[in-house]
């Protein structure tokens, strides 16, 4: 079963999928801002606060491969809906605990872990359905729109609004947090049957959930001459990125001496750059080709993080976040597009899960290391993370430039 790209636009099915992504990303954005603020109200220990970030990404290491197999085996619409529904219930529970002043840091860390666990399923489902509803010819446009939407929902809307709502009442951000997941669950169930599961040949049975099927995404990535290298690069970059942002909330509140309500503004600054980066990257990739665009994105990201560390000033931090947002968005759009083009549809869920198992899954290592560095000096995570990202880009620049041959 092959789904052709719509003649004009990306079609109504993609619009509904996009809407589900908006609801899910909006909720993720509220959690990304409200959870660190809530943690900072419970403790000012940098190492403990870094555990919130560890809990967010550890599920990718534990469940990434399994969730990818679930995405490829079952109805992707229902899988995404269940994952969003569970997160809505957990977010509502957090709201109740905060409102009744019974929240403790251990419960918050556990809740963030649950959000991350079900994100592995929801995110994999949404990504795997993109080729079916947008068509292979619409992938760059679709991924560009997804990346821009992710940024706008999480940072332009959710981050500043969550900061303001948290300043009014700590429970309020979690109300919107829960509602966004419910909207996403409803919308994803309206998608056509063609998006439900990976296409199979006539008479082909559903693949059993075995150890072999679980590991197939890893085997495909490890055996692919280009994706295996890109995968390894992504793991290193993700760890340094997590290290740089590990104690960002304390950097804003203590090093820059700003109010909690202002915390979301820095996420919005990153969003400004990310939206611009996501929207212009298709044009940049056509003009300069994919490899040079990805190499430039890595170098700009590293330099921008280092700027935040060496120049601890609100203006410098805001400027650094703008360029980080743009460069990371450019990297993500090209990276996701390359995977969707090179990976068979029946393996998209498992490859996505394997990709993030060793990418996002190892980010807790970087996050915890960033917490340890932050305990020494809140500038150190930015300096070490930025230098590490830039150095990694220079070391693997030849591999990134090979991507130009796949355009």
Two tokens at 120? Answer: 């592995």
Average pLDDT across the chain, whole number = 83
Coarse DSSP helix, strand, coil percentages of the chain, rounded to the nearest 5 percent: 85, 0, 15
Q: Supply the DSSP string of 214-229, one letter for each residue.
A: HHHHHHHHHH-TTHHH
pLDDT at 366 > cutoff 60: yes
Rg (the chain; Cα; Å): 20
* Confidence bin at 112 (pLDDT 50/70/90): very high
- 3-class secondary structure, 300: helix
Ordered by start, the domain boundaries in the chain are: 12-198+209-406
* This prediction's pTM: 0.67
Q: Which residue from 404, 308, 368, 396 is spatially nearest to 49, judged by alpha carbons?
A: 368
Q: What is the mean pLDDT of residues 38-66?
A: 85
* Confidence bin at 2 (pLDDT 50/70/90): very low
What Cα–Cα distance (Å) separates residue 361 from each residue in 35, 57, 80, 81? 19, 6, 20, 23
pLDDT at 303 > cutoff 50: yes
pLDDT at 5: 38
Residues 6+ apart with CB under 8 A from 92: 174, 178
Give the residue, 250 or 159, on which the prediction is more confident: 250
pLDDT at 216: 81
* Confidence bin at 209 (pLDDT 50/70/90): low
Residues 6+ apart with CB under 8 A from 21: 126, 146, 149, 150, 153, 184
* Confidence bin at 358 (pLDDT 50/70/90): confident
So what's the architecture of 12-198+209-406 in CATH? Answer: Up-down Bundle (1.20)
Tell the residue number behind the tokens 């950097």, with chain if given. 251
pLDDT at 16 > cutoff 50: yes
> How would you classify residue 104: left for phi > 0, otherwise alpha for psi between -120 and 50, otherwise beta?
beta
Residue 283: CB atoms within 10 A of its CB come to: 10
- What is the distance between the alpha carbons of residues 209 and 213, in angstroms, rounded to a whole number? 6
Q: Rounded to an integer, what is the distance from CA 8 to the centroid of its chain?
A: 29
Two tokens at 312? Answer: 């601890």
Two tokens at 89? Answer: 């219930």
> DSSP code of 247?
T
Q: What percent of the chain has pLDDT over 90?
A: 24
Q: Rounded to an integer, what is the distance from CA 290 to the centroid of its chain?
A: 21
């Amino acid at each position: 079963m092959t789904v052709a790209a719509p003649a004009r636009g990306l079609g109504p099915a993609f619009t509904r999928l996009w809407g589900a992504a908006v609801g899910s990303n909006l909720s993720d954005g509220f959690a990304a801002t409200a959870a660190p603020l809530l943690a900072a109200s419970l403790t000012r220990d940098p190492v403990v606060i870094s555990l919130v970030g560890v809990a967010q990404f550890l599920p990718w290491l534990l469940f990434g491969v399994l969730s990818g197999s679930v995405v490829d085996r079952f109805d992707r619409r229902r899988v995404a809906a269940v994952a969003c529904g569970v997160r809505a219930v957990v977010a509502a529970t957090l709201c109740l605990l905060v409102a009744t002043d019974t929240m403790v840091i251990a419960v918050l860390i556990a809740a963030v872990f649950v959000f991350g666990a079900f994100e592995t399923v929801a995110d994999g489902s949404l990504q795997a359905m993109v080729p079916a509803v947008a068509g292979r010819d619409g992938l760059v446009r679709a991924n560009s729109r997804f990346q821009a939407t992710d940024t706008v929902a999480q940072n332009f809307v959710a981050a500043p609004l969550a900061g303001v709502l948290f300043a009014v009442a700590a429970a309020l951000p979690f109300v919107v947090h829960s509602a966004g997941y419910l909207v996403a669950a409803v919308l994803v169930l309206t998608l056509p049957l063609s998006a439900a599961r990976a296409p199979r040949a006539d008479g082909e049975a559903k693949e059993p959930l075995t150890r072999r099927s679980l590991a197939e995404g890893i085997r495909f990535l490890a055996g692919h001459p280009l994706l295996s290298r890109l995968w390894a690069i992504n793991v290193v970059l993700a760890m340094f990125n997590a290290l740089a942002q590990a104690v960002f909330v304390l950097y804003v509140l203590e090093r820059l001496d700003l109010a909690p309500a202002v915390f979301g503004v820095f996420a919005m600054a990153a969003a400004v750059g990310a939206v611009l980066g996501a929207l212009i990257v298709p044009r940049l990739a056509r003009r300069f080709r994919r490899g040079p665009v990805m190499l430039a994105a890595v170098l700009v990201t590293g330099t921008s993080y280092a700027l935040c560390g060496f120049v601890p000033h609100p203006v410098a931090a805001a400027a650094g976040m703008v360029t980080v947002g743009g460069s990371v968005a450019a990297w993500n759009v090209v990276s996701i597009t390359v995977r969707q083009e090179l990976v068979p549809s029946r393996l998209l869920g498992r490859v996505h899960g394997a990709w993030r198992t060793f990418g996002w899954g190892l980010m807790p290592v970087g996050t915890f290391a960033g917490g340890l560095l932050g305990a020494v000096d809140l500038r150190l995570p930015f300096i070490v993370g930025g230098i590490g990202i830039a150095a990694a880009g220079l070391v693997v620049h030849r591999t990134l430039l090979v991507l130009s041959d796949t355009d």
